[in-house]
Chain A
Amino acid sequence: MSANRKADSPLRGPLAGLAWVAVTAQILLFGAPLLLVLWLSLQGAPDANVALTPTAWLSVLGSPEARMALLNSLLLAGLTVLASLLLATPLAYLIGIRGKFLGRLTLAIVLMVWFFDPGMRILGWMQAFKYLALVDFVPVGLLAGFPSELIASLHAWLPMAILCLAFGFARTDRAILTAARECGATTFVLLRRILWPLNRRLVLFTAAIVFCGSIGNFLEPRLLGSGDFQQATEWLQRALESETGWPYAAVMLLLMFGLAILPLLVMLLARHRQGGAA
């Protein structure tokens, strides 16, 4: 059991190298700045405005604006997870199970997306819409605001979700899939009753990765026309730019870090319990 669990980890799978690159990138891009801010905050400084005090905690927790920003980020992350899993599953099926030309083409497209920052991709779309005079077109207009932030978040995290699931699907015993097909299972039944349950740890892992990443999304509102939907990162930006906002920013960062790491801790705890039971 334990050996199987180890083998299930994407960090030990056939593309472990790529997974380790992704983890390292996460640490460098997310963990390192967080640690830097924390370190500076806990150091204290000659200027009392930089100290992380209980007053700062109470002030942030008591601020409706900060709470709303945090809730918005949570909502965005939750919806990104749900939408990522739903959209990634059929594409991962194409890559991992169907293979052949269509699967390889899908994989190439998924990997190609990573060449550009998601913000740049969204900017590109917006410029294209402007150029084509589609910005005022109703369906595009409906995408402004929160939907555009969700789309941007998906743009950022969907490729990761697709690859994570595709690796798991590719390692599923083909004989099991052919047996299910022979029993009369449709592709939907195959996904719902066979592939997802068989890869449930990987699905949870994917959800956790996407959640951790997307809760810290910084999606430039001016590009996306979402001025009324403030994310925690936007609140953070304003706090950091203000001369007296440093301790509040540190509190917000800690709260975000706690939320991001929560699903990982729950997963680790669950695995530890399963291991004990086994």
Chain B
Amino acid sequence: MPTHLDLRDLTVGGATGPVLDGFSASLERGALYALVAPDMRAADAVINLVAGFARPQHGRILLDGKDLGLRGPGERGVMTVRPNLALFPHLSSLANIAFPLEQRGHDRDEIKNRIDRLTEECGITPEMLALLPEALSAEQKLRVALARALGGEPEVLLLEQPLHSLPPAARRAFLPELKRLHRQFGLTTLLATNDLAEAMAVADVISVLVDGKEAQRGKPEELFGRPANAAIARLAGPCNLVPIEIDVLDTKVMLRSAMLQTGSGDVGRDRCHLSLSSGPAQMLVRPEAVRLFLGIRRFDMLAEGAIADVMPRGGGAQIRVTIESFPPGIIADVPLPAPFPLEIGRRITLGWNRADAFLLPAN
């Protein structure tokens, strides 16, 4: 599929070093591309460059092969949803949604038709249309902001931390809605967020930007299962990074760890980061892959320790088990009810399989 939005070697300077350093990306038409940056500076910079509110020190932005460099905001076919949603506080929801349509010179009937479609697609009720933004809930405001942005008939939709104003539970609940709207309108979309889990839920491709540079790019499952480093692994959610020693051989990697009861042995090269070399390394295991060992099911790796924390989570609990040789311990998601009481201090054994582990370079 031909490239729709082409970002080439974008560089933006800052007081203490480059905010964005040579970032490039090619977005296919209709793709949802996520930029994940822990401190948001680099991702914000990309959004502002594409929206036309900043100029790069170096690099070009092409839309359908045409350079956007000389076009100002409003002339680029780009609309942005900002973290605070930036609704016009003195205008009703209806007037907010109609605003971009009016600026584009549509006649009254056309505006009405388009508003009818937008409100239906974005889940905005007729009662909401008459209200000022201050009378709307956070989620309703977000729907109005999305409708306004879509009403601008953009070729590219920029979402800068669009769920920022929602409480955490509502954010997770709104993600499928965001995905549905993207599917419905089929717009090339650039999502900037500091939440990798959020990006993984909706994006086709994700770029992780650290210190202004691209640290990793890939599909959500690649970033989750095969992160480039421990920092990216942590961005994707809670994880265990177990210190190990490895010997890299031709077809496999031999590993050993003082904290593992059993499990020293070999793993396939496909479960290792490409830059691994013999010596200290880390084994990434997600909490959901770690199980209580009850002597029935077989696991490739086992570790014994004492329960240090129990945190209820949904229908289960997340427990942290400290191990003498690894005080930070291992965290595991345990379904409830557990086969025995999860008491602090109780000694238990946790197990996981090699297929659920991924080996990373040591910090």
Contact = CB atoms under 8 A, between A and B. Distances in A.
Interface of A: 173, 175-176, 178-185, 189, 193-194, 197-198
Best-buried of B78, B84, B86, B104 by chain A (most CB within 10 Å): B86
A182 B90 contact: no
B88 A180 contact: yes
Interface of B: 51, 53, 72-74, 78-80, 82, 84, 86-90, 99-100, 103-104, 148, 152
Given A183-B74, A184-B74, A198-B90, A175 B84 contact: yes
B103 A189 contact: yes
Contacts of B99: 180, 183, 185, 193
Nearest to A175: B86
Given A179-B88, A183-B152, 15 more contacts: A173-B84, A176-B89, A178-B51, A178-B53, A178-B80, A179-B80, A181-B53, A181-B73, A182-B74, A182-B79, A182-B100, A182-B152, A183-B74, A185-B74, A197-B90
Contacts of B53: 178, 181
Contacts of A176: 86-89
Given A185-B74, A194-B88, A178 B152 contact: no
10 contacts: A175-B82, A178-B51, A178-B80, A179-B87, A181-B53, A181-B72, A182-B80, A183-B103, A184-B103, A194-B88
Task: Select the residue from B72, B79, B99 with max chain A CB neighbours within 10 A.
Answer: B99
Contact of B82 (A178, A181, A189, A194): A178
Interface centre among B53, B87, B88, B148 (most CB of A within 10 A): B88
Main secondary structure of the interface of B (DSSP, over half): loop
Contacts of B51: 178, 182
A23 to B, nearest CB: 28
Nearest to B74: A184
A252 B102 CA distance: 51
Contacts of A175: 82, 84, 86
A178 B103 contact: no
A179 B104 contact: no
A178 B86 contact: yes
A266 to B, nearest CB: 21
Nearest to B103: A184
Contacts of A185: 74, 99, 103
A178 B90 contact: no
A183 B84 contact: no
A181 B74 CA distance: 6
B89 A182 contact: no
Nearest to B100: A183
Contacts of A180: 88, 99
A216 to B, nearest CB: 34
Nearest to B84: A175
A178 B72 CA distance: 11
A182 B103 CA distance: 10
Nearest to B152: A183
A180 B74 CA distance: 9
A183 B82 contact: no
Contacts of B80: 178-179, 182
Nearest to B53: A178
B84 A182 contact: no
Nearest to A179: B86
A80 B241 CA distance: 72
Query: Which of A178, A183, A194, A198: most chain B CB closer than 10 A?
Result: A183
A178 B158 CA distance: 13
A182 B78 contact: yes
A68 to B, nearest CB: 41
Contacts of A194: 88
Contacts of A183: 74, 79, 99-100, 103, 148, 152
A18 B100 CA distance: 39
Contacts of A189: 103
Contacts of A193: 99
A193 B99 CA distance: 10
Contacts of B104: 184
Nearest to A196: B90
- Find the residue from A181, A182, A193, A197 having the highest chain B CB count within 10 A: A182
A179 B82 CA distance: 8
Contacts of B87: 176, 179
A184 B100 contact: yes
B136 to A, nearest CB: 16
A179 B51 CA distance: 10
Nearest to B75: A184
A188 B79 CA distance: 20
* The 7 A-B residue pairs with the shortest CB-CB distance in the complex, in nearest-first order: A184-B103, A183-B100, A175-B86, A179-B86, A184-B74, A181-B73, A175-B82
Contacts of B152: 182-184
A180 B82 CA distance: 12
A194 B95 CA distance: 12
Nearest to A182: B73
A184 B153 CA distance: 11
A173 B80 CA distance: 15
Nearest to A185: B103
B34 to A, nearest CB: 21
A179 B87 CA distance: 8
Nearest to A178: B53
A184 B88 CA distance: 14
A175 B88 CA distance: 10
Contacts of A179: 80, 82, 86-88, 148
Contact of B73 (A178, A197, A198): A178
Residue among B51, B53, B74, B84 with max Cβ neighbours from chain A (10 Å): B74
B239 to A, nearest CB: 34
Nearest to B48: A178
